[in-house]
Structures are given as C-alpha cells and as structure tokens.
Structure 1
Amino acid sequence: MAVESYQSQAEQLVKDYLLADTFVPYTSVIGGIFACKLVYDLTQLLSALYFKSYLSLSSIKRVEWNNRAISTVHAIFITAISLYLVFQSDLYADNEFSGYISYRSSSLSTSTLGASIGYFVADLVMIVWFYPSLGGLEYVIHHLLSASAIAYAMLTGEGQLYTFMILISETTTPVINLRWYLDTAGLKRSRAYLVNGVVIFLAWLVARILLFIYAFYHIYLHFDQVMEMQDFGKLLVFGVPLVLLVMNLVWFGKILKGLRKTLAKRQ
C-alpha cells in the first residue's frame, strides 16, 4: 500500500508540475544552461586526454575550443528538431482546422526553444566575460536579438514556426567551428581546410540567405495570420529576420572573399 501511495504521489507530481505548460519553459532554459556547462566540462576533459595540441594552447584558446564545442552541440540539436518541426511534423502544416499557423505550439516546440535560450544565455555570458576574445559587438547583437525573439515565441506561443525557420540557419555552425579547429591544429593548408571552405560557402548560401528569403515568402503567404499577432510579436517576425539577413549578407561577403583568397593560393 505504501508503494502504491508513493507511486500515486509521483504520478500526480509529474502531471501537475513536470508536464504543466508553465513549468516547461523555465525548466528547459535551466536545462539548456546546465547542458552547456556539461558539454564544456566534458570537452575540457576529453580534449586534454586525446588532443595533444589542446594542452599547448593558451588559456583563452582553450576556452574558445570548449566554447565552440558547446555551439556545435547546440547547432546539431536545434537544427535537427527545427527541420523536423518545420518540414516533417503536422504542427505547422497548412490545415484550416488547426487554427492560425502563427499561434501553434507544443510541449516539444516550447521546450526546444527553452533549451536554445539556455544556450544563447550561457554563450552570451561567456562572450561578455571574455570580450572581445570570443566575439565582437556583432556577436553580442546577434545573441541578444536571437534570445529576445526565441524567448517571446517560447513564452507566448506566437510565431514559433518562423523562429524555428531562422534557427535552421544554425546548421552552418558546425562547419564554421571545424574550420577554426583545423586552423588551430595547423591544418590551414590541408585539403580538408579547402573543402571545408567550400562547404561553408554553400551551407551559408542555403541556410542563411535562401532560407531567410523562403521565410519571408512564407510570411507573405500567411500575412493575414501573422497580422493577428501582438504588435511586439509582429515586430520580431518582420524585424529580427531582416536584421539577421543583413548581418548574414555581410558575413557572406567575408566568406566569399576568404574563399577566393584560399583558391587563389592553390593555383
């Protein structure tokens, strides 16, 4: 009887708290922050054991090495779930019986956004703490805009579809981090470094330019539904992708310039 009583209490706790809509956002943010800490510590431990070049790095370089591991794990996680929610699940499918597409959300989508906020908060703290070693002002602006838009979508349930569309752009992060690792390991003149540059160019073109254009096209097709959102939500849906697109175009110009320089040296 005692066992059944404890089991009943545990089931009620899960139902009332762990599965409650108000509990999901906050725990997922905290979980995201702790996940970043875990990845940082594991990277530090494993790198010291298996990568000789890691031990020869300066302290700030080691911090960046670990920091890039965090961003890589987050990018893989958020890209996978974003692709599923946007293109595979029925959550955002064009179904007239499912309500406005700009108001749809689920426990999975909300908790995923919370975990992503946890990452952006943790990464922003590191960027500010070690400023400007881990990134300049453009990274601070990028993270603040991203975290604000994601937090609004998570807490209100508005515009989550477009938030996930933009988060798919994180697919470029692993290849960018790989380029840094190759450079740090002294492989800047290797074939892998050249192939990596081409992959970055293509990935950036698709995920950070063409995808943004598609997002604006989707907003245009569902303009009446988007306009039902709160004013701040509409500002984020229209404004944040636009600002990020401009930043992506500037960075794309730098990527193109760097690729041309690398190819010229190979001739």
Structure 2
Amino acid sequence: MDIIVTSVGAARKNGPEGDFIRQVIAPITERNLSLGTSAQTRFVQRWSEEGETHPAFASCVHLSRLAGDYIYPAMKGADEQGFDAAIVGCFGDPQLDQCEAGLSIPVIGFGKAGMAAAAELGKRIGIVTPAPMLIEPTFRQAADYGYGEMVIDVIATPETAAEQEEAVVNAGPSIKIFHELARKLIAKGADVILPGCGLQSPALRLAPGVEDEWPGGVRHIDGVPVVDLLGVVGLYAERAAMIQHMHGRGCNGVKAVPLSAGFWES
C-alpha cells in the first residue's frame, strides 16, 4: 500500500533544504507514521519548491517557508498515480476540503485525525501548539470538527521555531518543556494531551538524541495519555484505504501520470 504525504514545508530539492529533508525530516517522519501500520505500507513524502515565509516559523534554519497554498496542487492526481490514500502534512489541515473533493482516495489531515484520536482517548483535550498566533486558529479548527466543547485549552510552546526544528535531532529540551506545558493543561482538567504540530510528534514519540532516557518516547505524562499524532495519522490513512479496497474501490495500480513541475518526493 502506498500513501502520499503532502508536506506543508516548502523546500528546494537541491541544496541545504533538500539535504535536511532527505537526511533528517523524511526518515523520522516516516518512522513515526509507520509505527502503527503494516510493514508493506509505504509513505511517500511530496514537497513543493514554492512557499511563503510564515511568521510563526521564520526562525527555522531549514524549513522557514510554508506551502499551504500548494497542498492540493501537490496532491492533485495522486489517485491516478496509484496511491491508496493521502495525508495533508500539517496540523492546520490546509486545503483539506479541496483535497477531499478532488481525489477519489481517502484524505487524512493531521489536525482532524489528531483531534479524533484525542476524543477516543479522553473527554477533555489539551493542545500544545507551536506558536501563539496559532492558538485561536486551533480553537476554531476544533469547533469546525465538532470538538470545540472538548478542548479545555490551547497553549503555545515558548520555544522558537528554530528550537522546535532542532528537536527532531535532539529532543531533550523540547520534551522537558512539553512536560511543563502538559502539566499546566492537566491542572486545568485535561485528560488527554494533543501535540499540535507535525514536528512535535516525532520529537516526542521517538525522542531523537535522548532515546536512552526515553526508550518508549513520551506516551503519558502523569498518567495522562499523549496522542502519537503521526502514528495515529498513518494508522487512520492505512485503515481508510483498506476499507476502500474491501468495497472494490481505490487505485488499480500505478499509472503513468508524471509528477507536476515544482514538486519533488523524498
């Protein structure tokens, strides 16, 4: 089974951005997505060369540009290219509606799947978002998906975007800060904690650089479950594709449809 992941980070294939993705981001993202899926399921990450600098991520060294306006263009035709399901690789789920309408395969969004999983694990959701400017959009997103009354609070990490980017190499400082933030949410009544970013997820679940200290990753804090965001997304995408296949729907094998100009895969 092949699943396409259209990543929100914009990156040039050749040069430091592409090297960082191939050497760091793509491998750890795939590891996290694959934790709950079968060994036969393959995740292909697709990137846009074009993107805009977002204030919340401007300090990132490698991934300061976001391709939110290019998610659907990157994903368009994925069903004809033989993919079984698609993933919108950003918690804000940019262009999710367009992707769902334009593709014949299941489309899973980080945010929508993450909130659904949190609602299965608890009744009072606390969310940690990567920047203060994303707090209100996250509240609105939860309301749009029907989870507004379950979200007790959304708080932002004090880390800079560059520090969050570094966490996929050395997660130690981020894990410590996440514990502090989670405990604030737990004190407010949260019984499940949801990381609100695709970079947070592998940093917490795989604990790169501090695997000896956190051999199983951060799965609970003071007995309160922490959603494995990417692990859940991978599982949901695989499950949705399997349901399609059970009913005689889905792809019929890879077809000769070329990748559009301006996009590349890792």
Q: Give the alignment's TM-score, normalised by structure 1.
A: 0.28
More helix by share: 1
| Greater RCO (Cα-Cα under 8 Å, separation 6 or more) | 2
Q: Give the alignment's TM-score, normalised by structure 2.
A: 0.28
More strand by share: 2
